[in-house]
Structure 1
Amino acid sequence: MWSRSRALWASAAARFWRVAMPLARPAVAVGVSLALMETLNDIGASEFLGVRSLTVSIYTTWVTRSDLPGAAQIALAMIVLVIALVSLERWARRRQRYSITAQRARSFAPKPLKGKAAALALVLGLLPVVFGFLLPAGYLAVEAWKRFQFAGLSGKLLIEARNTTLSALATVAVLVCGLVVAFAARSYPQRGMQAVSRISTLGYAMPGTVLALGILIATAGFDFLDAQAREWLGVSTGLLLIGSGAALGYAYLARFLAISVGSVEAGLTRIPRSYDQAARTLGHSLTGTFRHVHLPLSKAAIAAAGLLVFVDCMKELSATLLLRPLNFETLATHLYGEAARGTYEEASIAALAIVVVGILPVILLARIGRNEQQG
């Protein structure tokens, strides 16, 4: 299609707007939706910069004013807003069809730039990297070094780093559930299973504060067992779900299951269905086919999903603030607390640790993408 547009003497701008953009519209829609969801979920930057977002309003209404019904009303308004925006975009492209294949997409040869065009492209590409990462990371590194020279490494940071084991456990649970959902959707491609797969990923569309609010109301109703145990048996069981961190782990599972399902599904789609048929012909069961065929061939996708989920769990702030057990601090909550007190040098080491860990999936995904292009 691209070569046909060039044969019709279409200009570069016309090819971009009439060919490239319509074909890229689904990907652009997904990217905009993800950016919107992440923006709605943000609470730290919005609060510190004085932006009165809906997420900040939910947090302050619940925690500061102790108005749980009011916070629930704002949360419902956010849910309606997210669903309306996503549905509107899907409705706008309901009659469009995208027939380009992955093989044809990889056949597009990049056009090398020279001279002023190359320099301009390089500068424009470096701007978000410099201002969005290099300068903030450099500042954090300088402040972290000053803090380390002055007082050494705080023991609290080691405890908070150890508390990230909850993120690791949640990552394992998210990966297992993502594998089950993605493989079930591949093995049973009926409309009902596809609907279940979509429903399982709705948690990512919900901001963490909204999700935490719903989980807290549900778990608080379950933790009435503590009052009943003290009344009937004279023994306190404690808050089994919130006090043990199970509620927070469930929040991670519900919120980030979409990342696991999406990554695993992307890996499974690269496996031809003829492999499934060959394995079943050789006598393997459905689980045997998954264990001997799909699992080995999708290791890269599973590893990428695990890294992405772990990093998101580690830096999740809004749900962690509201559902964490007492005296349970993570690197993200430590960073939030120090920044709220204005002691930014104390928060710099935790912030730098989050940045360093967050780079790992970026490097892995870049290498995977490069290998796919070479393949």
Structure 2
Amino acid sequence: MYTIRTLNNIAPTGLKKLPKRDFIINDAAQDPQGIILRSFDMHKMELNESLMAVARAGAGTNNVPVDRCTERGIPVFNAPGGNANAVKELVLSGLFISSRRIVAGSKWIQSLEGAENLDKAVEAGKKNYIGPEIMGKTLGVIGLGAIGVLVANAALDLGMDVVGYDPYLSLESAWHLSPAVEKADSIEDVVAKSDYITLHIPLLESTKHTINESVLAHAKDGTRLLNFARGGLVDNEAVLKAIATGKLARYVTDFPAAEFMGNDNVIMTPHLGASTPESEENCAIMVAEELRDYLYYGNVKNSVNFPNCTVPYNGKPRIAVCHKNIVNMIGQLGAVFTKHCINIDKLVNNSKGDLAYNLIVCDSLPEDETSLINDLYAINSVINVRLLNKEEK
């Protein structure tokens, strides 16, 4: 029986993926084997000794202490692509409101309450809210992951030209990306060619302030910038300066900041990117299935700190070993299995950075399982050992 603590409200459709016969869901559990969360900040939380996995029902994991989890051999799962369509739709709305002065025009109409002749006032004032069409313009997409690809393809369907940049373009994304998308050699190249720019990259130390004064110097006058990825990707002071000089006509962001208050050329939304019932359900289902598959079988998929490593269940017991990614580990593990007369049916070893993970399917386990576990932990670089699947789940 596994106890799962929820740190936020998680869509019931996701939690249903954790069968009641094997899982207890409790939002106040003090000693859980798994944690599921959305936006809760875990950085000040103590990680209890029994914790085996953390699952973030969303793509970003900035609110999870990934480094501490890695040190303990705890995988952190996420839901890449689970909210991709929701964000794509919001980005498309951002394109339109950055051009057509819909928001400002709507506010102005409300200010006409009580006007003696509303129709006449509207006709007289609408010229102040003229904005260009997006058809035939160029959209620059920085980051061609799950969301960026959807945005790029949708923009093409709307009649835009699209130029994209992603030095780490995955094979899966490349398969889904339209061949009509022009590939740029650098962020500066994207910025120089684009009438509209949208960001779809993670916030890392290396990507902080990707959009800065130096990059914006390459932009056309009147460029429109969209940020529905992460607030820290943009240097807000540089944006304000670019707006003041006319380099940027409009900045649309899902990450409000005090310095933008009162600026008519900045449109802020309250972090609505994944705020759809469909997105919340998709993400909850994805991470619940990932968490269940890991706790049952040791399989790892969509982890930000562990390598993908999956072996279909065949009814045989298996051993999951997490260790530092150093040479001769397979030999040391093999020596322990030989000592305990364990015949290996299948072994998969994958690594990610400084961490390696093994799934070893065995014909049988020895009677003295404690001695086996102790011998595995005696290997200096081993972080975590789990014996799994004596019975089919």
Q: Normalising to structure 2: TM-score of the pair?
A: 0.28
Structure (1 or 2) with the greater helix fraction: 1
Q: Report which of the two structures shows the higher radius of gyration computed on alpha carbons.
A: 2
Structure 1-normalised TM-score? 0.29
* More strand per residue: 2
